[in-house]
């Protein structure tokens, strides 16, 4: 039987990526972001060949896992400098680390997939570019370093 379109089919259509929420950032930083990118994980390959191997090429084994930095972008609002306030909390090479949770939401607002960034801290902040002939919204960017990534469904 064909899908009549009355409800989103959980098995036929991929999830849209425009409805998401970010929780756990510094004090007072909201969860409304324009873009989240960099949710990746990589396993380095270790090449090894033992001395009595009959094959003249090394074998590859999984090695250390590595995660990249996550970039968050949001619009700049009047008297909103919470990114800068959080970034400026570095004191003698120390900063309070936090757990950041990024949720992909369904049409009812329930999380369908979550990415948990453990021990996250801001490593880079970038203000908006300014153009005299531009008409787009002012966007600021913060980049988060973190130690591990946990992905869960539902």
The answer to whether position 7 is within a domain reads no
**Residue 26: predicted pLDDT:** 67
13 located within any domain:
no
- Strands of 16-69, DSSP E: 20-23, 35-37, 41-48, 59-67
Q: How many angstroms separate the CA atoms of 63 and 86, rounded?
A: 34
Give the model's confidence band at 8: pLDDT under 50 very low, under 70 low, under 90 confident, else very high: low
Q: Per the domain annotation, does 12 fall within a domain? A: no
User: Nearest-5° angle of CA 83, CA 134, CA 29?
Assistant: 15
Confidence of residue 27 (pLDDT cuts 50, 70, 90): low
Range of the domain at 25: 20-153
Q: Does the residue 4 lie in any domain?
A: no
Domain-embedded: residue 6: no
Is 142 inside a domain boundary?
yes
Above 90 in pLDDT, residue 78?
no
State how many domains the chain has: 1
Alpha-carbon distance 147 to 32, whole Å? 24
Residues with Cβ < 8 Å from 65, sequence gap 6 or more?
Answer: 41, 42, 43, 44
Rounded Cα–Cα distance for residues 105 and 86 (Å): 26
pLDDT digits (tens, 9 = 90+) for 80-109: 888 888 888 777 778 888 999 999 998 888
pLDDT tens-digit series, residues 28-56: 676 678 899 999 999 999 999 888 888 88
Place 7 in a pLDDT band, splitting at 50, 70 and 90: low
Residues 6+ apart with CB under 8 A from 147: 67, 118, 119
Q: Which of 2-6, 75-79, 97-101, 103-107 has the lowest mean pLDDT?
A: 2-6
Which CATH number covers residue 149?
Answer: 2.30.110
- Is residue 48 in some structural domain? yes
In a domain, 9, yes or no: no
pTM comes to 0.80
């Amino acid at each position: 039987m064909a899908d009549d379109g009355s409800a989103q089919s959980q098995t036929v259509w991929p999830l849209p990526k425009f409805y998401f929420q970010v929780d756990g950032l510094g004090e007072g930083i909201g969860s409304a972001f324009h873009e989240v990118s960099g949710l990746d994980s990589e396993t380095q390959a270790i090449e090894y060949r033992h001395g009595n191997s009959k094959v003249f090429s090394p074998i590859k084994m999984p090695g250390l896992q590595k995660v990249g930095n996550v970039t968050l972008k949001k619009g700049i609002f009047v008297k909103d400098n919470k990114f800068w306030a959080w970034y400026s909390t570095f004191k003698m090479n120390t900063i309070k680390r936090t757990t950041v949770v990024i949720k992909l939401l369904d049409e009812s607002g329930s999380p369908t997939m979550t990415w948990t960034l453990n021990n996250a801290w801001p490593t880079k902040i970038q203000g908006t570019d300014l153009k005299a002939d531009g008409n787009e919204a002012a966007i600021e960017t913060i980049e988060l370093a973190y130690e591990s990534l946990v992905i869960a469904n539902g």
